Amino acid sequence: MDEQRCPLPPPLKTEEDYIPYPSVHEVLGRSSPFPLILLPQFGGYWIEGTNHEPKDPPEADQPPCPTSHVKLETNSTAKIYRKNFMGKEHFNYYTMDAALGHLVFSMKYDVIGDQEHLRLMLRTKIKTYHDVIPISCLTEFPNVVQMAKLVCEEVNVDRFYPVLYPKASRLIVTFDEHVISNNFKFGVIYQRFAQTSEEELFGNMEESPAFVEFLEFLGRKIELHDFKGFRGGLDVTHGQTGTESIYTSFHNKEIMFHVSTKLPYTEGDSQQLQRKRHIGNDIVAIVFQEENTPFVPDMIQSNFLHAYVVVQVENACTDNVIYKVSVTARDDVPFFGPALPDPAIFRKGPEFHEFLFTKLINAEYACYKAEKFAKLEERTRSALLETLYEELHINSQSMMGLGGDEDKLENGGAGGGGGGGFFESFKRVIRSRSQSMDAMGLSNKKSHTVSTSHSGSFTHNPAESPKTPGIVSSQFLVPPNSNTRIQTLVNRKSFLLLYLISITLREQCDFSPVREEYLLTLSEPLNSSHPASVRTKFSKSSGCVGPFLPLLHPSECIT
C-alpha cells in the first residue's frame, strides 16, 4: 500500500501566503520622492522605467531616445498576400482538415534573382503560415498537399479543392487584414496629488494648466457634434458623451482619446460610471500626474485595461518642460517597445511625441496577446476563416454550375437511390411531400399570407394547388402574367432543380431560426448579383452543412 501512495499536490497559495508589497498609503507616509508606479500588494503586473534621476552632468545635446529606434509593431504576415499575391498570377485552394479545421492555401511561382521559388501561404484557425522555398531544394515538383505540408507538417488531408471564384482575392485579403487596425482609442486619466482611489481619479472636474498643456501635446481639441473622423465610441449626434475631446492622427492612424475630465460628470454618482464606461473599456490608458503621487494599477477596476503609461510633468508651462515616464502592464502582456531610456526622462518635443504614440500603439498590440484577448482573437479568427471557406466553396461551385448535390441529381442520383433521372427524383419528392402534408392536414390550408415556417411550404391560392399527389401542376411551369416584377430569367429545369434542393434541405435540416433577410418574399425582386438569382447562405444555428436555398414561389419562375 505504501508503494501505491503518492504525495498530494501542495495547496494553492492564498493572499496570506504572499509577502505583500507596501500599500500606497504606507508609501505616501514616507518621505518623497515617490515612484510613479507602485505594484499592487499581491502583484500581477510588471513595471518598466523606474529610474528618473537625471544624469550628472546632464546630456543636454543628446535626445533621450533616437528616432531610429522607435518602431511601430505591425503584423507583417497580414500584408503578404496584398503585396506578393494580389493582382499577380497565383492559385488559391481550400479544404477541411480533421484536426486543423478549415484551411485556405495560396501558392505563387516566384523568380527571385535567378532562382525559382514557391511562395506559400496556409491559413489555419490558429495562425497563418508563410514561407518561400527554392524549387532547386526539392527533388520533384510537389502537388498542393505536399506544398501545404512544407509550411505546416501537421496538415493531414487527401486533397485541396481549387478556388474558381474571380473575386476570391478580395475575400482572402479581407480575411488576412482583419487584424490590421488604423483606429485606436486610449484613455487619459488625470491624477492629482494624494489621489489614491478610482472615485477620486474619475471625480476630477477641473483641468490644470499643466494638464491642458499635455492634452494639447497629445492632439487637437475637437467638437464632437457632427465630427466626421474616428469617434472611438463617443456620441457625435446627441452630446451624451460630452461636447469635446482630443483627437489626432499618427502615421495614417486615427486616434481618439477618452479624457476623464471631458467626459460627462454626474452629480451624486461616486463611481462616475459615465466616465468609467468609456475609459474602463479601453485597453491602454495614460495616467497624467501633475505632482508626485504613485499610481497603482488596481486602483481602477476593469476587465479590459491591461496597460498604463504614466507620465509625470516637471517645469510645466515653461520652456524646459520635462516628462518622466513609467509603464506597467499585466503579467500576461509581453514586453513591448520602444524601450524606455535610462533615466526615463523626456523633454517636450517631437522625439517624445513619436516615442509616446509608438509606445501606446505597441502596447495595445501587445495586450492582444494576453490570455483574455488571445482567446477572443482565436474565436474571431476561426469564425472568419469558416466564413471565408464557405464563401469560396459556394462561389466556386456556382462558377461550375453546381450547388452541392445538384450534379448528382442531374445524373440520376449517382450511386443508386432510385434512378429515373432528375424529373423522376423531383416527382418522388413532390409525391412524398404532398402525402406528408395531407397527413398533417396542411395541403388545403386556406391562408393567403406568406408562410414564415421553415417546413418548406409556400402560400398560394388553394384552388390552384395540385390535388393529386405526385402530379406537378402547370402552375409550376407557366408564368403568371406579363406584369410580373421579377425580371431575372430562370429556365424551367433550373427552377425545378432549386425547388427540389430547397425542399430536400429543409426536410433534412432544421434551419430555424433563420433571419428574415435569408428569405425571398413575394414582393422582393431577385437580385441579379446572386448566383442563379437566388441567395445561397449557410445556416449557423442548424449545424447543417449545406447551403440554405430559399423556397421560391411559382410566380418567380419565368420560362
pLDDT in tens, 127-171: 999 999 999 888 889 999 999 999 999 999 999 999 999 999 999
Q: Kindly indicate the confidence band of residue 74, based on its pLDDT and cuts at 50, 70 and 90.
A: confident
Q: Residues 264-313: pLDDT tens digits?
A: 988 888 888 889 989 999 999 999 998 888 899 988 999 999 999 999 99
Checking if the pLDDT of 443 tops 80, the result is: no
Q: Is 135 exposed, middle or buried (0-12, 13-18, 19+ CB in 10 A)?
A: middle
pTM of the model: 0.66
The phi, psi pair for 257, rounded to 5°, reads -100, 135
Query: Diameter of the chain by CA atoms?
Result: 103
Per-residue pLDDT, averaged over 406-415, amounts to 37
Checking if the pLDDT of 263 tops 90, the result is: yes
Neighbours of 16 (CB within 10 A): 6
Neighbours of 208 (CB within 10 A): 18
What was the pLDDT predicted at 325?
96
Measure the CA–CA gap between 477 and 481, rounded to whole angstroms.
12
Q: Residues 166-224: pLDDT tens digits?
A: 999 999 999 999 988 899 999 999 999 888 889 999 999 899 999 999 999 999 999 99
Per-residue pLDDT, averaged over 242-249, amounts to 94
**What distances in angstroms separate CA 433 from CA 58, 98, 470, one per listed residue?**
90, 36, 9
Q: Residues 420-430: pLDDT tens digits?
A: 433 444 444 44
- Higher local confidence (pLDDT), 342 or 441: 342
CB of 16 within 8 A of CB of 299? no
Say which CATH superfamily domain 24-53+180-368 falls into: Rap/Ran-GAP (3.40.50.11210)
Measure the CA–CA gap between 36 and 286, rounded to whole angstroms.
12
Q: Residues 341-372: pLDDT tens digits?
A: 989 999 999 999 999 999 999 999 999 999 98
Q: Kindly indicate the confidence band of residue 10, based on its pLDDT and cuts at 50, 70 and 90.
A: low
CB of 291 within 8 A of CB of 28? no
Measure the CA–CA gap between 82 and 77, rounded to whole angstroms.
10
Comparing 3-12, 117-126, 140-149, 438-447, the range with the smallest average pLDDT is 438-447
What was the pLDDT predicted at 558?
39
What was the pLDDT predicted at 75?
83
DSSP string over 204-260: -----HHHHHHHHHH-EEEE-TT--S--TT--SSS-BTBSEEEEEEETTEEEEEEET
Question: To the nearest whole number, what is the mean pLDDT of the chain?
Answer: 75
Checking if the pLDDT of 529 tops 60, the result is: no
Question: For the chain, where do the domains classified as CATH 3.30.1120.160 start and end?
Answer: 76-177
Question: For the chain, where do the domains classified as CATH 3.40.50.11210 start and end?
Answer: 24-53+180-368
Q: Which CATH number fits domain 76-177: 2.60.120.260, 3.30.1120.160, 3.40.1440.60, 3.40.1410.10?
A: 3.30.1120.160
Measure the CA–CA gap between 189 and 308, rounded to whole angstroms.
10
What was the pLDDT predicted at 510?
42
- Higher local confidence (pLDDT), 56 or 7: 56
